[in-house]
Structure 1
Amino acid sequence: LVGAYDLADKDHFTSQDPYLCVTVGNRTKQTGVHSRGGSHPTWNQCLTFRVTESQLDLESLHLECYDFDYFTKDDLIGVGGCSLREAKHGFDGWIELVKKCNRKAGRVHI
């Protein structure tokens, strides 16, 4: 997970602190929080999931991007995903994030 571009801004008075939750099947892992990462955070992190060959066609890579908040519930910035088979074979590209009503919420580079 390299970073993100043009994330929807959830903090109106300060710079947002984005992080990603990545889910495959029933397992979820999370990147670190990019403090004050704003709309263009970078993570440069590798999250690893063990999967079987049969799961490659059945499962997907699901992304949820959040803005970390100290005193309130973290704000969902957007969600996106791709097929697990596509991600396994060295996918290097952008995944579109959307928020409610399918409105664009930015892109994540994986």
Structure 2
Amino acid sequence: MALVPGCITLTVEFGKGLKDKDFFGKQDPYCIITVGNQTFKTRVAIDGGKNPVWNETFRFNVNNENDAHVVVMDEDDISRDDVIGECRISLAKARELGMDDVQVPVLSKHSRKQHGFIQFKIKFEPSDALKYGTITGAPQAMQGPMPGPGMVPMGYGAPMHYGQPMPYGQPPMPYGQPPMPYGQPPMPYGQPMPYGQPPMPYGQPPMP
């Protein structure tokens, strides 16, 4: 059966009791995480030794992928990086319940013996949640029934009928009528201002 597509948020928290690949000093572990064809790498935990701490989060788009493969490496400055071990994480519980906290045993690549574990935190968000805003902090979808024909959605006025203009200010004056009054009436056309009179103050009635 096809799985619900969505996004997996995977946090690599810490490791405990990992196999030590360095003879001198402490090893410097890091993880390579693969889900489907997507691969990410954590930072290197310098001198993390057997108990490294990462606390890094990665996001994977998933369709039918239901597990993640993790390879734990030891960074070496001089020689090739060593494989500490590997593990496989099931995403089934997170995809079913939305989240999962899990300790996954780290197995030796060849002998398949367990050498410690890594703590992971997993969250799953379906694609519908990402699209329609049901994740935290996103706008929520409108609740209640969708309006049917002739019904008006909540928060909106009745729709205007086709061909009926929206009211805007005053209705237009009939053709041939004088313009609407605005403040003081205008001076009659053709009557000049008396010569030598000061300009009329704004808002005062016109001079006789």
Q: Under a length normalisation based on structure 2, what TM-score does the superposition of the two structures give?
A: 0.49
More moved, 67-76 vs 81-90: 81-90
Aligned pair partner of 2:46 in 21, 35, 56: 35
Structure 2 residue runs of 5 or longer lacking an equivalent are 1-11, 121-208
> 1:101–1:87: structure 2 CA closer, same or farther, 3 Å change rule?
farther
Question: In structure 1, what is the Cα distance between the partners aligned to 2:94 and 2:103?
Answer: 11
> 1:29–1:103: structure 2 CA closer, same or farther, 3 Å change rule?
same
Structure 1 residue runs of 5 or longer lacking an equivalent are none
Percent identical pairs in the alignment equals: 33
> 1:71–1:62: structure 2 CA closer, same or farther, 3 Å change rule?
same
Q: Give the match's secondary structure for 1:86.
A: helix
Larger strand percent: 1
> 1:67: which partner in 2?
74
Q: How many residues are matched?
A: 106
Larger Rg: 2
Larger helix percent: 1
Larger RCO (CA within 8 A; separation ≥ 6): 1
Question: Would the aligned equivalents of 1:61 and 1:87 in 2 still touch at CA under 8 Å?
Answer: no
Over aligned residue pairs, what C-alpha RMSD do you find? Answer: 1.3
> 2:116: which partner in 1?
106
> 1:91: which partner in 2?
100
Aligned pair partner of 1:76 in 79, 83, 107: 83
Q: Which amino acid aligns with 2:73?
A: Y
